[in-house]
Amino acid sequence: MHLNPALVEMRVERFVRERLEPATYRRRVPLEVAAWVAPGEPVPFAEAAAAAYEPFAVGTAWGRPWGTTWFRLTGRAPEGFGGDGTRAEVVVDLGYSDVQPGFQAEATAYRPDGTVLKGLHPRNRYLPLAAVTGPDGAVEVLLEASSNPDVSGDGVFATPTRLGDPATAGTDPLYRFAGADLAELDVQVWELQQDVWTLRGLLAQLPEASTRRAEVLRALDDAVDAVDPWDVAGTASAGRAALAGVLAQPASASAHRVTAVGHAHIDSAWLWPTRETARKCARTFSNVLALMDEDPDLVFACSSAQQYAWVRDAQPDLFERIKKRVAEGRFVPVGGMWVESDTNMPGGEALARQFVVGKRFFAEELGVEPLDVWLPDSFGYTAALPQIAVAAGARWFLTQKPSWNEVNRMPHHTFAWEGVDGTRIFTHFPPADTYNSDLGGEDLARAERQFAEKGRARRSLLPFGYGDGGGGPTREMLAAAARTRSLEGSPVVELAGPHDFFRQAQAEYPDPPVWSGEIYLEFHRGTYTSQARTKRGNRRSEHLLREAELWAAAAAVQRGADYPHEALERLWRVVLLQQFHDILPGSSIAWVHREAEARYAEVAAELEELIGASLGVLAGDGEEAVAFNASPFARQDVAALGSGFPRPGAGARASASAGGFVLENERVRVVVDRDGLMSSVLDLAAGREVLAPGARGALLQLHRDTPTQWDAWDVDEHYRRHTTDLTAAESVELVEESAERVAVRVVRRFGDSRVEQVLSVAAGSAAVELSFDVDWHERQKLLKLAFPLDVHADRAASEIQFGHVLRPTHANTSWDAARFETCAHRWVHVGENGYGVAVANDSTYGHDTGRTTRPDGGTTTTVRLSLLRAPLFPDPDADQGRHVLRTSLLVGAGIPDAVREGYRLNLPLREVRGAGPVEPLLAVEGDGVVVEAVKLAEDRSGDVVVRFYEAHGGRARATVRPSFPAASVTETDLLERDVEQPRALREARPDAAVLELRPFQITTLRWRRA
């Protein structure tokens, strides 16, 4: 047999391109087009529908960057249109490019009555004609078309562009309207296209020498023969008949089973602002509903309560239709979170609230509780997540992002993920390594090929549908699913929801392998640092929210004040939205980050007002200076969570010496040299020099920061090869000398930037505090702050949510080496037996800790903070301008001291004028049990809810005494629901509850008031 497979494949390819595709539609009748350009930001339908439309010629340019143009399409179908094996449609081409859907023009189609019909994008251009035809036969449809620019730069994602901000994006039109027609879809031709597409995808994956491959190839060759090139419509059925045999061959008994879940990963902001995401949701969700009407098997998984809330508020009719499909179990809310947040940086309480606020929305608005965590795209996963997720009622976790690792491959696809406290959650990584599948042969084969559990398990999940910018599944994908339900050589594809998958996967794999600890992403390490003002906004907001809830709860319970439920809920939702995995990580366009900064400023102003009002109520009328302490630790004689008269103490001294300046108190003696660097930090209690011999502390280091791939996302290993130590100082001088605090101010200039550093020592404190005011104008540079310490540390402890993780300071294995930049919250601690040092911060997340051996044989452990970057994409002006931040170096510190220092730096005492102190709402007796949140219950019952965790990594026992009359105390989950079996509450006495916590255990107590 003289078969030449390569030639047959070429023949089929050309046949599809030149014969099949042009034959998709038979008759086309142009529609009348009229247009109205919305002058500014998007307007509601009613306003647009009432506007004055001008006739618009097909072929005309339209759409300034970020603008909205409304098109009115009108016409009438000829007699008999859509008969004879065709389907009548409206087909619109807005002037699309080859860039993926979601990164260019898209539109929402409305009926004249304002109800949303469907979204339009480059791979989904049709509307069913019946849906836009009135009883009189007149066709009318309105399109709200977004002329979103392609910020990705043709999918390169690296070219600096000014398109990401409407102020700099220009006004020239981006698109040329290419057509709006009534068109007859030839059903047999379209079905033949789907047959050929699936078989060609399968063919490419089959072993070259296999019988199956030869048969599929022969069938495709036969199909081309069967179709008359000059009468495709008339012979498409013959082509299909030639393929029927190979399409009917069933899957093998051992075929891998793929649960295909309809999905659209819609980034809540990224290369577009949040207001565009709200419209992307309406377009995508309406597409999904339209497809569900056609295919009863389609199940669509959709995360992010925020996105449902946007649709509810902007398109109530669409939301009602979604609710019906939710009730049927076909439109499936997943994840349970407010947004698909970053999980490295959100604080403990904030990550808990992602679930509390998200699940509350799903329960109240949709009557469902998602049982999974759905985070396919976030940039690494904190070791605190299993416990938080399980405490919020989740049973399963899904992501695929670790497939992006630069170096190491995660060993499992289905496994139990064990968190820092030992909690385990059943976890699945879709082995196809995508959340945007088209259900083609390549993705399906990859799922089977890579599935690491083969031999013990046989099932994986595959999210399909256009994602990132939205769009979702298409009818072509559903056609592929139908053809691969049982197809020899292909995995078996089954349309179902994620919960079906997880139940089946768990049943077939009851004892999966375990991955313990964080799921570190070996990629995107710059996201702990990029857009530092966004980071600062997050950290400050989290602590202000803590203060606002605590003091409002105290004012309500102790003084009968109203608790500002609505304001707090609203402010939390703003902060939770900004934790989305392209906002807090700093990987969005300029528009998004300027908006985030503005929102954080509004949040801070409103929270300051709420805090001031509560403190005013609590302190009463008077002229005494009362200090309030929102931290979980007493400070300067002011009780934890309480108030009092602070006693700062005295004993800080400063002096000038030949080598520079000396700052000291009874705990620490610091020498700041003429370069403004610490040349000595003496721990007076331990009698020990903290800095490594010959090294200087508080050293700013400037690195070249030119990532290989993703600017805002990546700090690459090669950054360390180019370092400039910023040792030259413009001035070094003593400032603000008092008995309470002594300080040295250092001013440096480098490049186009200026930094003012204040190093200070306060009476009674073992911390050297450093505050920075930076005017930053570098490009593609990374600014680090280094503390080379004379400590032999094998590992560094970094604070995460509700605890800390230990990471090696060496690079023994490829896993250790790849972890060269890490995320920490308020502190990092390094130590050897009997001695340790902590480095704390008030708004920084990126850190690295390494060590070297000196000629004297000693070990230098260097802790560095990543203060600032300046990536060029997607925001070309990222991080330019002013930054203020604080850090501290705490000598002679154990983990408990580090925990305390983290709270101290982030929750300063607040002084108000009043009659006097009030008793704390509750007192906690016992080490290691830390109060993370005090609030009134979400259900507005007035119950007091308090979240605790064990912070040291050991066993802890504590007695908690509320100062208010309480009728009962119960242990609850994160959602404030009573648990059946208390795990931490040993004695449920309302006036003295006794808690026993395991290492890093979180627990929530709820007091019903008497």
Least distance from Zn ion to the Cβ atom of residue 419, Å: 23
In 328-416, which ranges are continuous DSSP H helix? 348-361, 385-391
Q: Given the DSSP bridges, would you call strands 61-62 and 175-176 parallel, antiparallel or unpaired?
A: antiparallel
Task: Assess 342 for contact with Zn ion (CB under 5 A).
Answer: no
- Looking at beta carbons, which residue is closest to Zn ion? 377
| Residue (377 or 996) nearer to Zn ion, CB | 377
Least distance from Zn ion to the Cβ atom of residue 97, Å: 21
* Cα–Cα distance measured from residue 379 to residue 399, given in angstroms and rounded to the nearest whole number: 10
Q: From the DSSP assignment, how many helices (H) and strands (E) are in the chain?
A: 18, 53
* Cα–Cα distance measured from residue 600 to residue 8, given in angstroms and rounded to the nearest whole number: 61
Other residues' Cβ atoms within 10 Å of the Cβ of residue 877: 18
Rg of the Cα atoms in the chain: 31
* Cα–Cα distance measured from residue 101 to residue 139, given in angstroms and rounded to the nearest whole number: 27
> What stretch of H or E contains 662?
strand 660-664
Which of the ranges 265-273, 366-374, 707-715, 884-892 carries the binding residues for Zn ion, by CB under 5 A?
265-273
Which of 144, 267, 522, 799 forms a contact with Zn ion (CB under 5 A)?
Answer: 267
Least distance from Zn ion to the Cβ atom of residue 68, Å: 24
| Residue (275 or 998) nearer to Zn ion, CB | 275
Least distance from Zn ion to the Cβ atom of residue 435, Å: 8
* Cα–Cα distance measured from residue 871 to residue 705, given in angstroms and rounded to the nearest whole number: 8
Cα→Cα distances 675→462, 784, 787, Å = 58, 17, 15
Which of the ranges 267-275, 566-574, 723-731, 769-777 carries the binding residues for Zn ion, by CB under 5 A?
267-275
| Residue (267 or 542) nearer to Zn ion, CB | 267
The SS3 assignment for 21 reads: helix
* Cα–Cα distance measured from residue 608 to residue 605, given in angstroms and rounded to the nearest whole number: 5
| Residue (106 or 349) nearer to Zn ion, CB | 106
Which of the ranges 209-217, 262-270, 783-791, 838-846 carries the binding residues for Zn ion, by CB under 5 A?
262-270
Least distance from Zn ion to the Cβ atom of residue 376, Å: 8
Nearest to 491 by CA among 455, 434, 444: 444
Least distance from Zn ion to the Cβ atom of residue 270, Å: 7
Mutual angle of helices 211-226 and 5-15, in 10-degree steps: 40
Given 181, 186, 377, 790, which residue is catalytic? Answer: 377
Which of the ranges 20-28, 370-378, 419-427, 743-751 carries the binding residues for Zn ion, by CB under 5 A?
370-378
| Residue (373 or 630) nearer to Zn ion, CB | 373
Which of 184, 221, 349, 377 forms a contact with Zn ion (CB under 5 A)?
Answer: 377
Least distance from Zn ion to the Cβ atom of residue 101, Å: 15
Least distance from Zn ion to the Cβ atom of residue 310, Å: 16
For residue 394, which amino acid is it? Answer: A
Strand partners, 753: 750
Which of the ranges 375-383, 606-614, 688-696, 998-1006 carries the binding residues for Zn ion, by CB under 5 A?
375-383
| Residue (263 or 279) nearer to Zn ion, CB | 263
Decide: 350 and 371 in contact? Cβ < 8 Å: no
| Residue (262 or 831) nearer to Zn ion, CB | 262
Least distance from Zn ion to the Cβ atom of residue 581, Å: 6
Nearest to 943 by CA among 951, 935, 931: 935
| Residue (377 or 711) nearer to Zn ion, CB | 377
* Cα–Cα distance measured from residue 798 to residue 625, given in angstroms and rounded to the nearest whole number: 36
Q: How many residues does the chain have?
A: 1010
Window 762 to 781, contacts with Zn ion (CB under 5 A): none
Decide: 69 and 37 in contact? Cβ < 8 Å: yes
> What stretch of H or E contains 47?
helix 45-49
| Residue (376 or 836) nearer to Zn ion, CB | 376
DSSP for 49-101, written as a single string: HTS--EE--TT-EE--TTEEEEEEEEEEPPTTTT-SSEEEEEEEE----SSPT
Least distance from Zn ion to the Cβ atom of residue 377, Å: 3
Which of the ranges 69-77, 377-385, 447-455, 497-505 carries the binding residues for Zn ion, by CB under 5 A?
377-385
874 preceded by cis ω (within 30°)? yes
Which of the ranges 67-75, 198-206, 369-377, 952-960 carries the binding residues for Zn ion, by CB under 5 A?
369-377
| Residue (377 or 683) nearer to Zn ion, CB | 377
**Is 991 an active-site residue?**
no
Binding mask 312-341 for Zn ion (x = CB under 5 A): ------------------------------
| Residue (56 or 338) nearer to Zn ion, CB | 338
| Residue (128 or 336) nearer to Zn ion, CB | 336
Taking phi first (over 0 means left), then psi (-120 to 50 degrees means alpha), and beta for anything else, what does residue 668 get? Answer: beta
Which of the ranges 259-267, 543-551, 641-649, 930-938 carries the binding residues for Zn ion, by CB under 5 A?
259-267
Least distance from Zn ion to the Cβ atom of residue 526, Å: 16
Cα→Cα distances 34→58, 431, 649, 691, Å = 10, 47, 76, 73
# residues near Zn ion by CB under 5 A: 2
* Cα–Cα distance measured from residue 545 to residue 543, given in angstroms and rounded to the nearest whole number: 5
Nearest to 690 by CA among 698, 700, 680: 680
Least distance from Zn ion to the Cβ atom of residue 582, Å: 6
* Cα–Cα distance measured from residue 256 to residue 443, given in angstroms and rounded to the nearest whole number: 13
**Geometric angle at alpha carbon 847, from 843 and 850, rounded to 5°:** 155
For residue 894, which amino acid is it? Answer: G
Mutual angle of helices 305-314 and 565-578, in 10-degree steps: 110
Query: Which residues carry out catalysis?
Result: 377
Residues forming the site for Zn ion (CB under 5 A): 267, 377
